[in-house]
């Protein structure tokens, strides 16, 4: 089931569940068969996270004291860059992993999907250079800065269209995607005003981490039975925002749990007290939703 904000941006399609599933599986099959078109495959790249702006009070005190204000140090981040054949410029997607870290299977799956759809893919690894194994039971590192650093890096590549870069995140990465899409009273990061993400896709995020209004079109894909990031949290958030701000589509998959798109979880597994389980039908449907959403937003 899904919730739409009726502003004309997203239209509900009245087709049967059977047709939806068949079409979704066709999109997935075609994408996986086209993965050989990726060139180069998974190039390991490094870039700096976005720099934090020095606060206005700090700036004023610095001027009064004739002091030179040092920039807050950046962190070097690793990512995996993939592109379709050709010279572009192509639209691009920044992918943000969950709190358990970036796994090779996920990295390859995202790269294959995105390049198969004609997008440059930059899969960000926020943990490698920080020597973090997981961040599920502790504080989250500065992942908004990582994502914006990836945005800045992609904007410098000749084969990327800097005006058509979306962010896709899963779980903790989905929370970060929603935070990046949220309104803010101050600019925390030193990034050009004209450079921003075109759209956001959030797989099973905690919706309470977002402001009630978003600044870019967003789609949220979540399981009905998710006990780690509950769908009810997203439903309440949708009610609070009442259609204000950028358009948002919430899709809830009946019977699906957290991490429903991870094939290695076919038998289900408990992690940090929560149930994770793969759901082939929800995965196929979510791929179709993401495909159509990105295709719609990247052509604007």
Separation of alpha carbons 138 and 132, rounded Å: 11
Separation of alpha carbons 293 and 10, rounded Å: 8
State residue 246 phi and psi, 5-degree precision: -65, 155
pLDDT of residue 8: 32
Count: domains in the chain: 1
CATH number reported for the structural domain that contains residue 49 in this entry: 3.40.50.1820
- Residue 23 reports pLDDT greater than 80: no
Separation of alpha carbons 14 and 117, rounded Å: 24
Looking at residue 69, the DSSP 8-state letter turns out to be P
Domain of residue 54 covers 2-298
Would you say 162 and 206 are in contact if contact means Cβ atoms under 8 Å apart? no
pLDDT of residue 243: 83
Return the percentage of the chain with pLDDT > 90, whole number.
69
- Per-residue confidence band for 20, with pLDDT thresholds at 50, 70 and 90: very low
Would you say 120 and 160 are in contact if contact means Cβ atoms under 8 Å apart? yes
State residue 189 phi and psi, 5-degree precision: -120, 145
- Per-residue confidence band for 242, with pLDDT thresholds at 50, 70 and 90: confident
Distances (CA, A) of 171 to 84, 136, 217, 221, 223: 27, 10, 18, 10, 12
- Residue 22 reports pLDDT greater than 80: no
Under DSSP, is residue 152 helix (H, G, I), strand (E, B) or coil?
helix
């Amino acid at each position: 089931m899904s919730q739409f904000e009726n502003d004309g941006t997203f239209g509900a399609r009245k087709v049967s569940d059977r047709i939806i599933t068949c079409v979704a599986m066709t999109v997935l099959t075609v994408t996986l068969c086209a993965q050989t078109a990726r060139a180069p495959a998974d190039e390991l790249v490094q870039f700096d996270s976005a720099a934090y702006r020095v606060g206005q009070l700090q700036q004023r005190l610095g001027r009064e004291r004739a002091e030179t204000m040092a920039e807050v140090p950046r962190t070097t981040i690793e990512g995996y860059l993939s592109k379709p054949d050709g010279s572009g410029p192509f639209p691009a997607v920044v992918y943000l992993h969950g709190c358990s870290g970036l796994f090779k299977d996920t990295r390859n799956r995202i790269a294959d999907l995105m390049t198969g759809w004609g997008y440059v893919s930059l899969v960000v690894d926020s943990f490698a250079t920080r020597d973090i194994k997981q961040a599920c039971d502790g504080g989250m590192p500065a992942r908004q800065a990582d994502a914006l650093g990836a945005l800045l890096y992609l904007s410098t590549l000749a084969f990327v269209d800097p005006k058509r870069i979306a962010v896709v995140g899963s779980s903790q990465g989905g929370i970060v995607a929603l935070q990046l899409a949220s309104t803010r009273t101050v600019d925390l990061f030193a990034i050009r005003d004209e450079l921003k993400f075109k759209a956001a896709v959030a797989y099973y995020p905690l919706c309470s981490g977002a402001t009630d209004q978003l600044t870019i079109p967003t789609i949220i894909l979540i399981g009905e039975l998710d006990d780690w990031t509950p769908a009810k949290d997203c439903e309440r958030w949708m009610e609070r925002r009442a259609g204000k701000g950028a358009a948002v589509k919430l899709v809830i998959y009946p019977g699906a749990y957290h991490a429903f798109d991870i094939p290695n979880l076919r038998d289900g597994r408990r992690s940090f007290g929560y149930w994770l389980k793969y759901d082939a039908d929800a995965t196929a449907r979510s791929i179709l939703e993401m495909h159509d959403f990105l295709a719609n937003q990247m052509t604007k």
